[in-house]
Amino acid sequence: MTFDVLDFGAKADRVTDDAPAIQAAIDACSKAGGGRVVLEGGKYFYSGSIILKENVDLHLERGAVLQAHKDLEHYFHPNAGQRDDGVERVGTPVTLKPSYVFIYAKDADNIAISGEGAIDGNAYAFVRQVSPYYVTGDFYPRPTLVYVEHCNHISFKDVIMRNAPFWTLHPAGCDDVLISGLRILNDLNVANSDGIDPDHSTNVRIIGCHVTCADDCICLKSSSGNMEYGPLKNVIISGCTLTSTSAALKIGTEGAGDFENVVVDNCIISDSNRGISIQIRDGGNVRNVSFSNIIIETRRFAECWWGCAEPITISTHDRDEHTKSGHISNVRFSNITCDSENGVFLSGSRGNHIEDILFENVRVVVRAKSKWPKGMYDLRPGYGQRIEEIKTSGFYMRRADHVILRNCQVKFEGEEKNDFSHALYAEECRDMTLKNFRGQAARSSLENVVIRQDES
């Protein structure tokens, strides 16, 4: 059955809050057993929060726009009053559940958002310009664009989601999630406008999406606020094109629970601040992860953004003095091409080494691209962690055991090489295997490969 929101009183005049009419259509559709709620093409709907119900497909026809209201009084506030660790502060508790939400669902199975229309988050109603490279605002009360919790058999297909003021699509505690053909187009200066953030969810497929945003494009999470839903596991990401001023593909840092069985294949990361990032700061573990057939192009965007253009970074460090980080093991990288002004970076912690990492057919080209300082790696966030000024190697590894590099290559290009160093540098790494590793240091005065076993 089809339910047109205009039949329920929507004005589509860009001024009237159409949320009551849209909600009435959703409620009627669900009560009738399900169907499609339609926003007609060529119409512009201005709306406060709406709540999706079981068996409802919210369908935006080509040319339809659903824009979020600029006034928080028109937003659903499902988690009013919560604060991170009981401390009231400016800043969202990203480890917990979101405060304000534009499109919300909970315990609603068989829901969908579809069509070729656009959902617009009206980002600049909630942020302010900080610098030419950075736009932010009080994390409270920036709304999440779409948050669905404990919903099964759900899909998001072909829609444009744009101008999110905070995270764009956040499925938490969900099972059987299909995200296909989305175009997420956020402002590259609006901080924390993540693209897709599966959280404690299972059997997730993210296929053929194009994501541009000023934070992580696709970020797998297991946040402390949703621990009741178990690990994040069984995730496939394929055929996506990604651009980010943070990390294009990321696991963490919100990682109170485990991450298991993740496959990423056939993606292109272009003009990003970081490429692939696995950052564990909480107690969750990462295991059984595969990245293959990926092209990565990174450069440093600005000093205000976390990350120093690392094409691949893996690290496990304690978030704070009370939170011990989990373990990272069995991660595979194959057929990866990196063009960056930094190198691959692995950093375990004392007593918690990264283990069982394979790099196969990974090519790293390092060259200066931006005007920003080079020769550094970024370990933030973390207890006592910071940007470390270390000359850039093609591969830099410390406290990583049982690492295999097979058919890998490093090449330094360009005339500006003072901040660049060895093809491979490793310290405190047990049982490292190099098979057909090719690469020369950035300068002839340096060794190509340095492996040290002593602690430093």
Question: How far apart (Å, rounded) are the C-alpha atoms in residues 296 and 250?
Answer: 13
pLDDT at 114 over 50: yes
Q: Cα–Cα distances in Å, from 57 out to 53, 108, 114, 452? A: 9, 12, 7, 58
- Note whether residue 196 is domain-resident: no
pLDDT at 134 over 70: no
Of 167, 193, 227, which marks where a domain is finished? 167
Question: How far apart (Å, rounded) are the C-alpha atoms in residues 1 and 56?
Answer: 10
- Note whether residue 434 is domain-resident: yes
Residue showing tokens 């621990």: 227
- Whose CA is closest to 151, among 103, 83, 102, 221? 103
Give all strands of the β-sheet with 50-51 in edge-to-edge order. 50-51, 101-106, 144-149, 169-172
- Whose CA is closest to 301, among 440, 186, 448, 131? 131
Residue showing tokens 């949703």: 226
pLDDT digits (tens, 9 = 90+) for 314-359: 999 998 888 889 999 999 999 999 999 999 999 999 999 999 999 9
pTM (2 decimals)? 0.94
Minimum mean pLDDT range among 67-81, 148-162, 320-334: 67-81
Phi, psi of 229 (to 5 degrees): -100, 5
- Note whether residue 204 is domain-resident: no
Confidence of residue 372 (pLDDT cuts 50, 70, 90): confident
Confidence of residue 191 (pLDDT cuts 50, 70, 90): confident
Question: How far apart (Å, rounded) are the C-alpha atoms in residues 196 and 146?
Answer: 10
Q: For position 94, what pLDDT does the model report?
A: 54
Work out how many domains the chain is built from and give that number.
2
**DSSP 8-class letter at 108:** -
Residue showing tokens 């057993």: 33
Q: Which CATH number do you get for residue 86? A: 2.160.20.10
Give yes or no for a contact between 169 and 204, defined as CB atoms under 8 angstroms apart: no
Of 100, 134, 167, which marks where a domain is finished? 167
Residue showing tokens 């090489």: 417
Give the chain's end-to-end CA distance (angstroms, integer).
67
Question: Do 373 and 292 have their domain in common?
Answer: yes
| DSSP secondary structure letters along 12-41 | -EEEEE-HHHHHHHHHHHHHTT-EEEEE-T
| DSSP secondary structure letters along 52-76 | --TTEEEEE-TT-EEEEPS-GGGSB
- For the beta carbon of residue 321, count every other beta carbon within 10 angstroms: 8
CA atoms within 13 A on the CB side of 42: 0
What does the angle CA 88 – CA 140 – CA 325 come to, to the nearest 5 degrees?
A: 65
pLDDT digits (tens, 9 = 90+) for 137-153: 555 578 999 999 999 99
Question: How far apart (Å, rounded) are the C-alpha atoms in residues 295 and 339?
Answer: 8
pLDDT digits (tens, 9 = 90+) for 250-306: 999 889 999 999 999 999 999 999 999 999 999 999 999 999 999 999 999 877 778
User: CB-based contacts of 445: which residues, under 8 Å, 6+ apart?
Assistant: none
Bridge partner list, 328 = 286
Q: For position 88, what pLDDT does the model report?
A: 37
Please, what's the largest Cα pairwise distance for the chain? 76
pLDDT digits (tens, 9 = 90+) for 201-223: 999 999 999 999 999 999 999 99
Question: Do 131 and 233 have their domain in common?
Answer: no
Question: Do 252 and 150 have their domain in common?
Answer: no
Question: Do 142 and 281 have their domain in common?
Answer: no
Question: Do 325 and 424 have their domain in common?
Answer: yes
- Note whether residue 185 is domain-resident: no
Question: How far apart (Å, rounded) are the C-alpha atoms in residues 164 and 186?
Answer: 6
- For the beta carbon of residue 43, count every other beta carbon within 10 angstroms: 21
Minimum mean pLDDT range among 1-15, 214-228, 354-368: 214-228
- Note whether residue 200 is domain-resident: no
Question: How far apart (Å, rounded) are the C-alpha atoms in residues 142 and 125?
Answer: 9
Q: Which two tokens stand for residue 268?
A: 């292109």
Question: Do 455 and 330 have their domain in common?
Answer: yes
Q: Which two tokens stand for residue 373?
A: 């300082």
The rounded mean pLDDT for the chain is 92
Q: For position 322, what pLDDT does the model report?
A: 83
Question: How far apart (Å, rounded) are the C-alpha atoms in residues 297 and 310?
Answer: 10
Q: For position 130, what pLDDT does the model report?
A: 67
- Note whether residue 100 is domain-resident: yes
Q: Which two tokens stand for residue 5?
A: 């929101």
Question: Do 266 and 157 have their domain in common?
Answer: no
Question: Do 159 and 228 have their domain in common?
Answer: no
pLDDT at 109 over 60: yes
Question: Do 413 and 279 have their domain in common?
Answer: yes
Of 132, 167, 202, which marks where a domain is finished? 167
Bridge partner list, 43 = none
Question: How far apart (Å, rounded) are the C-alpha atoms in residues 334 and 358?
Answer: 8
Minimum mean pLDDT range among 63-72, 77-86, 170-179, 294-303: 77-86
Per-residue buried b or exposed e for 429-439, using 16+ beta carbons within 10 Å of the residue's own CB: beebebeebeb
- Note whether residue 221 is domain-resident: yes
Question: Do 275 and 128 have their domain in common?
Answer: no
Q: For position 142, what pLDDT does the model report?
A: 86
Q: For position 417, what pLDDT does the model report?
A: 86
Q: Are strands 387-388 and 377-378 parallel, antiparallel or unpaired?
A: antiparallel
Question: Do 116 and 228 have their domain in common?
Answer: no
- State the residue range of the domain holding 108: 1-167
Question: Do 157 and 54 have their domain in common?
Answer: yes
Bridge partner list, 340 = 366
Across the range 125-140, mean pLDDT stands at 69
Q: pLDDT over 70 for what percent of the chain?
A: 93
Minimum mean pLDDT range among 12-26, 89-103, 369-383: 89-103
Q: Is the peptide bond before 141 cis (omega within 30 degrees of 0)?
A: yes
- Note whether residue 35 is domain-resident: yes
